[in-house]
Structure 1
Amino acid sequence: MRLKESKEAFQIHRLAKSRRFLGILFVVGMIYGFVSYDLVHKKKQRQGRLEVHLDSTSSNASHLSSFEQNYIMQGNVSWSGELQCPSQGTEIGSSFLRLKNFMEDGEWREEGAFNIFLTETSCSSRPNYRAWCSVESMAHENPEGLVWYVMTSPEVDLQDGLVKQLLGRHKNLRLVTANLSEIFDGTPLQELYHSGAWNSDTKWPAANLSDMLRLAIVWLAGGFYSDTDVICISPLTGLRNVIGLAEYNLVNGANFHFDRHHPMLEYFMVHLNDHFNPYVWGENGPRTVSAVLRDVCKEDVLFQDLECEGVRILSHAAFNPVQPNGRVLLFQRTQEKNIRKRFPYSYAIHFWNRMTHSQPVFKNTDSVYDLAAASFCPISRRAATQNSPYY
């Protein structure tokens, strides 16, 4: 009897032990599965980060905030050492204009040409109206210059008729696409571009790419660069090798002019390549150019009219007459209706899109933005308000 009970107890013990062993195996298997999935998922994120950000095109991205439409990639974008933006207009009769490659256009190489560059780096084929306002204002105020809107998208959307109107009115406006390898190769940013670090583990790959592209394209061609949250209010063609203060001891890379192959641009690119930071907003833009200028000019503080290496720093009034902490004033009624009189020492007005993208501009309210748009980008403003009281 005792022998039988002992055998039964042994069997029960062995069964319990087996179950514990199987339980351990199950837990280990689950842990292994989770770890493996996490590693593979992160690897895919690193290899194809661009594809994660958006799965809809700009013309069908109404669910995205204005901020997202400006700073992350749009459409089924792919990355394999080279940015590949999607094409929407390959069919005959499409409402898309296929863009010429910037590198194949020889006009910017012509002696005496004053080039003005703006860029679209999110792969959008349909930039927003504020971006077109900026482009139009540059063409409007600089009829003797060549205004280049360099887009990463291979085409531009023609559906609302705005692009055709702008091209018909401003004969100095050029819409082109960019083969980025052709632009970056041979510059200090070649390694950074092809590494894809600008696109990995960051909230704003399009902004990172913009910080890089502006330096490389002005290095390549020479000319004036402007962000697309700027309205030009006076001609720029008299400026040469200048950059403007934004705040105390900080210059802004949103507007600048440099001659082709200017050594300061090379310093900027080398610093950006060596100290690229995808995690902090502004680190690759204003903080980069400010750090380099302080180092090259051997000054602890950057100030108006400082000159070194053939570069002059302009006052904040030149491009940033309203500083970030006063940005709300740009969208409020102003007593002075003449924008040039309101900003007599300014070439352009920076509207600080990162902080004001959600602020609507109401038509005929005498705000600084709407008055500037009415005077310097009337075609874009008319298109923006055709079916809406604000834009």
Structure 2
Amino acid sequence: MGARVLRMPNCLPKLTRVVMSHKLRALFILAFKFVSLASIMLYWRIVEDPKGRGQVCSLPVQIRCAYSVPSPPRTIAGGPPHSPGDVFFVETSEQINPSYLFTCSVESAARTHPGTRVVVLMKGLANGNASLPNHWAFSLLRCFPNVEIRPLDLPELFSGTPLAKWYLQAQQRWEPYFLPVLSDACRITIMWKFGGIYLDTDFIVLKNLKNLTNALGLQSQDVLNGAFLSFTPKHEFMELCMQDFVDNYNSWIWGHQGPQLLTRVFKKWCSIRSLRNSTSCKGITTVVLREQALTGARLPRMSSCLPKLTTAVLTHRFRALFILTISFVFFASVMFHWRTGEDAEGQLYSLPTQSRCEQFLPPSPHTIAGGPPHSSGDVFFVETSERINPSYLFTCSVESAARMHPGTRVMVLMKGLANGNASLPNHWAFSLLRCFPNVEIRPLDLPELFSGTPLAKWYLQSEHQKEPYFLPVLSDACRITIMWKFGGIYLDTDFIVLKNLKNLTNALGIEDQNVLNGAFLSFTPKHEFMELCMQDFVDNYNGWIWAHQGPQLLTRVFKKWCSIKNIQNNMSCKGVRALSPEAVYPIRWEDWKKLFETISSSELHKLLKNTYAVHVWNKLSHGTRLEITSQALLAQLYSQFCPATYAKMKEDSEEQSRPAM
């Protein structure tokens, strides 16, 4: 949520205060910064490649290209149509910064297929760019005259195939595995339309693959994998794959549209039940390929620049020494600057803590390790990932809960804090939340949380961490365990709380027609319903189906609890209440775009008349731009129910709109 603000403009108020308070030292620092920036520009002019590509942190192009024939200039729109026998790589996300492994995959294919065109199709390029972005990988791949990098035009690719209608429908709904499924769709369509060889971008090619025709890879004893495909154009097997893709479509099961699809089509093709005794059938061969198992270690960017820096030092000794000296002094001055200008709490890039907190009681010092044990009736938020940089929405969720429950402790449990830190990280959100004396931010100790529950053994089984939905499933596990152990109220970090929730006891919300959702839970400690949920979590565990351990679990346990087949709005059974959707899910997940639509104050009041909290469906809405000063529904909620977060968003938005200095 929220636009990413340029860092330098956001520092200007702080820098101004430093200049006024420490004029001489600030002047000294600014002078060194100016010289340093000039030296950095001089440095890149010294070491950038002579062809003017300006690739930062890349080896000089002439060194890269010494081992291959020089490439003519390429644009992403040029080149003849695909020819049978091309090697294809596909990137279905918007990424245009290829990793080391991605680049190695393409390079290895180009080297082992010198007479074959290697076509790299990237969705992120499909927005009218006439040339490739500035990135070391594109500079490197230009060295190979047989490599072509082009935009991935999905409507054009799927046109004239059974997948054309599917693609138009898929864009209108949210699916958990959309990108992998889209990749599965692309590869079988490319093989049918153009033929040739398809490879995932995590392969390292050791030999020429042209002798493998009408072949696909065997992943394990009874499962095929589409990471490698090699087919002639318009092959009937690929046509059957496209038809199966549509007829048996299910994107909520991992691998269903990929390895499972190829396996079931091949078994039908060969009329067999097992792949173990069949390596070739009706002209199609299965081959065992050793796919590169590593995803490529992410090296720090500075390490990637070291070869270039070494080259510069050797060829421009005195200038390089001068630059390095200035850079050292620059970094020292930056450290000195922050020591001079930081506030008493050490918060960088944040509004002054005192200005945020003027309207609240002065908070007592909080550390993430201190505080008494949980009390019955706390409000809980949980972050199961390693993230320690709360978003605007996360912060608004906590702020709104703290405002609506001034006498209740609001506990924020974050897994990323569980490494022995004695104080909170430097981040504006933590500075803001310190204003609320009832907010406590603590580490999430998972082994301790699950101890003494049916989930303790499940958590210790490391294989679950490889499952596609592990983080959501872990979150599902945490919330039911917290409700059973401590009781109170649990909220997802994409809620905005409108009213006090304390009168909702032993309750959960109906998301939509006969489905409960655990984004809001309110229970007394050691409640039997939560105990049954924990037992069901283990007994019927399946981490490969979206929501199986969350909404589906709560729904099936509630139906057993009440001995019913259908859940009715606002029904109560054996002391547990299923709240109507308007209580906490007034905006259905299918209608999440309404959050960004303009609405009048009277219409908003009418819509939320019987609502306690609004679920924002961050999984769907997080990439959507919000004009914070508009009359959009979500903007109005921010301004009314989390004004401190709203003020921060507004300031950041104004800073971003100013021209960079």
The answer, yes or no, to whether TM exceeds 0.5 is: yes
Question: Are 1:266 and 2:266 counterparts?
Answer: no
Whole-angstrom distance in 1 between the partners of 2:487 and 2:535: 18
What is the match of residue 381 of structure 1? 646
Corresponding position: 1:194 with 2:464? no
CA contact (8 A) 1:126 1:157 kept: no
| 1:190 counterpart letter in structure 2 | A
Aligned counterparts of 1:264 and 1:231: Cα–Cα separation in 2: 26
Question: Which secondary structure does the structure 1 equivalent of 2:651 belong to?
Answer: coil
Q: 1:341: Cα distance to partner?
A: 4.5
Secondary structure, counterpart of 1:153 in structure 2: helix
Q: Flag the 1:36–1:292 CA change in 2: closer, same or farther, 3 A.
A: same
Q: Distance in 1 between matches of 2:522 and 2:605?
A: 22
Letter of the 2:405 counterpart:
N
Q: 1:246 offset after TM fit, Å? A: 0.6
Matched residue type, 1:106? P
For 2:296 and 2:589, the matched residues in 1 are separated by 28
Conserved? CA contact 2:346–2:426, under 8 Å: no
Task: Look up the SS of the partner of 1:135 in the other structure.
Answer: helix
Q: Is the 8 A contact 1:215 1:265 kept in 2?
A: yes
Whichever residue aligns with residue 316 of structure 1, its letter is P
Is 1:164 matched up with 2:427? no
Q: Please list, as runs of the form range in 1=range in 2, the aligned pairs for 1:56-75 lying within 5 A after superposition.
A: none
Which segment is superposed worse, 132-141 or 300-309?
Answer: 300-309
Per the alignment, residue 397 of structure 2 pairs with 134
Counterpart for residue 473 of structure 2: 208
Residue type at the aligned position of 2:615: H
- Secondary structure of the equivalent of 2:454? coil
Moved more, 275-284 or 228-237: 275-284
Cα contact 1:229–1:350 (8 A) shared by 2 = yes
Following superposition, the deviation at residue 337 of structure 1 comes to 5.7
Q: Residue 65 of structure 1 aligns with which residue?
A: none
Query: Out of 549, 565, 570, which is 1:305 matched to?
Result: 570
- The 2-side partners of 1:355 and 1:54 are apart by 29
Inter-CA distance 99–226: structure 2 relative to 1 (3 Å threshold):
same
Instruction: Return closer, same or farther for 1:133/1:312 CA change in 2, 3 Å cut-off.
Output: same
Is 1:251 paired with 2:544? no
1:124 matched residue in structure 2: 387
Higher relative contact order (CA 8 A, sep 6+): 1
| Correspondence 1:208-357 to 2 at 5 A | 208-336=473-601, 339-357=604-622
Distance 1:361 1:274, change over 3 A: same
Deviations 1:293-321 (A, max 9, x none): 11121110011232223211110011001
Deviation of residue 150 (structure 1)? 0.7
Report the Cα distance in structure 2 between the residues aligned to 1:340 and 1:108, rounded to whole angstroms: 35
> What displacement does 1:267 show?
0.9
CA distance in 1, matches of 2:538, 2:530: 12
The alignment partner of 2:584 has SS state of: coil
State the AA in 2 paired with 1:165.
Answer: L
3-state DSSP of counterpart to 1:386: helix
In structure 1, distance between residues paired with 2:493 and 2:611: 17
In the TM superposition, residue 105 of structure 1 has moved relative to its aligned partner by 4.0
Does the 8 A contact of 2:347 with 2:427 survive in 1?
no
Other structure's SS at 1:150 match: strand
* Partner in structure 1 of residue 180 of structure 2: none
Q: Does 1:143 align with 2:406?
A: yes
Q: Which runs of 5+ in 1 are unaligned?
A: 1-30, 46-51, 58-92
> Equivalences for 1:11-26 in 2 at 5 Å?
none
The CA distance in 2 between the partners of 1:171 and 1:98, in whole Å, is: 9
Alpha-carbon distance in structure 2 between the residues aligned to 1:162 and 1:151: 13
What's the offset of the Cα at 1:198?
3.7
SS of residue matched to 2:509: strand
Q: Secondary structure at the match of 2:569?
A: coil
CA drift at 1:338: 7.9
Matched AA of 1:132: T
Rg bigger for which structure? 2
Does residue 632 of structure 2 align to residue 367 of structure 1? yes
Q: Deviations over 1:91-111 (max 9, x none)?
A: xx976999534xx743423xx
* Partners of 1:320 and 1:56 in 2: CA distance: 43
1:108 is aligned to 374
Distance in 2 of aligned mates of 1:326 and 1:352: 10
CA contact (8 A) 1:337 1:371 kept: no
Structure 2 unaligned residues grouped into runs of 5+: 1-217, 219-286, 301-344, 349-364, 657-661
- Partners of 1:146 and 1:157 in 2: CA distance: 18
* Pair 1:341–1:142, CA change in 2 (3 A): farther
Which secondary structure does the structure 2 equivalent of 1:328 belong to? helix
Relative to the length of structure 1, the TM-score reads 0.71
CA deviation digits over 1:315-354, x for unaligned, max 9?
Answer: 0011001111222111100012685554010100011111
**Structure 1 residue 53, shift from structure 2 partner:** 11
How has the CA–CA distance of structure 1 residues 338 and 150 changed in structure 2, closer, same or farther, with 3 Å as cutoff?
A: farther
CA RMSD of superposed structures (Å): 3.0
Q: How far does residue 161 in structure 1 lie from its aligned partner after superposition?
A: 3.1
Q: CA offset at residue 240 of structure 1?
A: 0.7
* Contact in 1 for aligned 2:397/2:493 (Cα 8 Å): yes
Cα distance between partner residues in 2 of 1:285 and 1:53:
32
Any conservation in 1 of the 2:367–2:424 contact (CA below 8 Å)? no
Q: In structure 1, how many angstroms separate the alpha carbons of the residues matched to 2:567 and 2:587?
A: 18
Q: Provide the rounded CA distance (Å) in 2 between the counterparts of 1:300 and 1:145.
A: 37
For this pair of structures, how many residues does the alignment match?
306
Contact 2:483/2:521, CA 8 A, preserved across alignment: no
Aligned to 1:180: 446
Would you say the 8 A contact 1:162–1:379 is kept in 2? no
Quick one: structure 1 residues 159 and 280, their matched pair in 2 at CA, closer, same or farther if it must change by over 3 Å? Answer: same
Q: Quote the residue 2:232 is aligned against.
A: none
Q: Secondary structure at the match of 2:374?
A: helix
**Separation in structure 2 between the aligned mates of residue 98 and residue 105 of structure 1, nearest angstrom:** 8
- Judged with a 3 Å threshold, the aligned counterparts in structure 2 of structure 1 residues 337 and 288 are, in CA distance, closer, same or farther, namely same
C-alpha displacement of 1:237: 1.5
The CA distance in 2 between the partners of 1:296 and 1:376, in whole Å, is: 36
